[in-house]
Amino acid sequence: MPLFTPGRRWQPPFYPFESKPLGDRLLQGVELAVKGPLFGCRMCGNCLLQETAFICSMECPKGARNGPCGGSTEEHCYVDETRPCIWYRIYDRAFRMNRQEMLLEVLPPLDWDKIGGETWGDVVRQVKKVGTRNVVSGLLARDPAVRSKTWDSVFRPVRQPDWWQGDSQYHAPKYEEPASELERRLRAGEFVVTAEVMPPISAKIDKMSKNIDLIKPYVTAVNFTDNPSAAPRTASWACSALAIKQGAEPVMQIAARDRTRVGLQSEVMGAADLGIRNILCISGDSMKMAPPPRGRMDIIDIDAVQMLWILRRMRDDSQYLDGREIKTPPRYFLGAAASPFASEPRFQALREHKKVNAGAQFFQTNLVYDAAHMEIWLNELAKRGVLDKVYILVGITPLKTFKMARYMNDEVPGVVIPEPLMKRMEAAEKSGNAQEEGVQIALELIQKIRKFEGQGVHGLHIMAVGWEEIVPRIVTEAGVLPHGFIPPEPKRAEEKLATPA
């Protein structure tokens, strides 16, 4: 009815008219006028500035409210190269101000009822609740502990609503028996291997099914990606269910990009019913990487850390995000992605620490081509005391061509291939031997990575990117076959270990 409500024509698709009292609207205007120029405030109505070194995180196109994505670099945001990664700036400033430990607090998703509203009103209400006199005297106290406690008594309830109650603590899982075979083997100290199988892009599942059969004996669990590069494929949960039917243990990946808080919780309940016992929470590639027409790039309901927090509480506290009790809670082993080569190792270690606190029990890392750099990252994790709280499976991708190596290095966020390896691939390509060279590089890397077994590394995660038939050969030649390995059945004997042409 544009004739009667002309203002709506200039509004975003969803933006309800609200008849807020004049006082609130004035406060809103003043808050925007002050916080906009000072902190880059976007008036999300759920202010986190104190936890983010006084830089508004709402500039992040992935809507990340708990730290950078795996593509963060010092130079720029990987989604929009015209701007810096806002989370790099936040981490950098927080370390300089010695406020980095504040970044560990698990922050809630947006309360969309508050979008566009002011936060100062909440602060005033909280001051009244605590008592203005108590607040003033507490803030003027000589003891810094009293000052900080008073400050927290006002601001913590504002940023941590009752339905969230995030903190900076580690929460050990509240169950005894391993939720999955992957967890059982990791607990038993076995060096495990997982591998990725690409879900099909058509309704025909033969190839995927064959790949599952092919790699099943060689790995402990099979990952199913969730629409990589933001391009739709068969759902990860459906592939996981098919894998169970074929006798393989799946790791179901869930990308925050495609989920709302409601969809996420409903999906993991369904996955639990299907017998899926390993879940990997990731942010997901930005819509920017998707083929056109692209969907909105600026609205993501939940981030990967929030996903872990929600799923851990569903399992351990039998509770939905809205507080409803789950009579029979789901069982699963929770994982997350880690990115040793994005931004700086100390930043990434802090980010990983936060994921462990939120609920991550295992990490599958981004691709590693430089074991020495990975060691720096491991040392940073050790300094944070998280290595005994999480199992780390290091990401390995055998390179097939020099073109692929260049693409990985230049285009894939968080992947760095050292120059000597690039030169080896280039020379091998010229002599028509690129695939074999790629396999040899992967085998050499695995030997280097295995030196960190017992020092933080617990296994490998092979991402063959459509070259699944190479997985058996790599696992066999690297000497990382699973305990109790049973060779493939005779009917599959003709599927010899793949040898590159």
> Could you list the residues that contact ligand SF4 (CB under 6 A)?
60-62, 64, 68-69, 71-72, 77-79, 85-87
The tokens of 53 are what?
């070194």
Closest CB 343 distance from ligand SF4, rounded Å? 9
Query: Which one, 349 or 471, has the nearer CB to ligand SF4?
Result: 349
Task: Quote the least distance from Cβ 485 to ligand SF4, whole Å.
Answer: 40
Shortest spacing between CB 264 and ligand SF4, in angstroms: 19
Nearest to 269 by CA among 200, 319, 198, 322: 319
Q: Distance of CA 434 to CAs 187, 428, 475, Å? A: 38, 5, 19
Please state the closest distance from residue 69 (CB atom) to ligand SF4, in A: 4
Considering the complex, what minimum distance in angstroms separates the CB of residue 374 from ligand SF4? 21
- Beta carbons of 58 and 42 less than 8 angstroms apart: yes
**Shortest reach from residue 409's CB to ligand SF4, in Å:** 17
In terms of Cα–Cα distance, which of 363, 362, 231, 365 is closest to 292?
Answer: 231
Is the bond into 12 cis (omega within 30 degrees of 0)?
no
**Which residues are bridge partners to 222 per DSSP?**
195, 250
Q: In whole angstroms, how close is the CB of 89 to ligand SF4 at the nearest point?
A: 9
Question: Which lies closer to ligand SF4 via its Cβ, residue 48 or residue 195?
Answer: 48
- The 8-class DSSP code of residue 108 comes to P
> Between 69 and 446, whose beta carbon lies closer to ligand SF4?
69
Q: How far apart are CA 74 and CA 87, in angstroms?
A: 10
Cβ closest to ligand SF4, residue 85 vs residue 182 = 85
Q: Are 94 and 67 in contact (CB under 8 A)?
A: no
- Cα–Cα dist 293/22, whole Å: 42
Tell me if 338 sits within 8 A of 365, measured CB to CB: yes
Residues in the chain: 501
Structure tokens at 319: 């509770």
Q: Which is nearer to ligand SF4, 71 or 330 (CB)?
A: 71
Q: In terms of C-beta distances under 8 Å and separation of at least 24 residues, what long-range contacts does 44-47 make, across chains too?
A: 44/110, 44/114, 44/115, 45/110, 45/111, 45/114, 45/115, 45/116, 45/117, 45/118, 45/119, 46/108, 46/110, 46/111, 46/114, 46/115, 46/119, 46/159, 47/119, 47/158, 47/159
* Angle (nearest 5°) at CA 245 between 239 and 247: 105
Q: Which is nearer to ligand SF4, 61 or 456 (CB)?
A: 61
With respect to ligand SF4, which residue has the nearer C-beta, 61 or 329? 61
Nearest distance from C-beta of residue 342 to ligand SF4, angstroms: 8
Looking at the Cβ atoms of 55 and 404, the one nearer to ligand SF4 is: 55
Return the number of the residue (241 or 337) whose C-beta is nearest ligand SF4.
337
Q: How far is the CB of 489 from ligand SF4 (least distance, A)?
A: 45
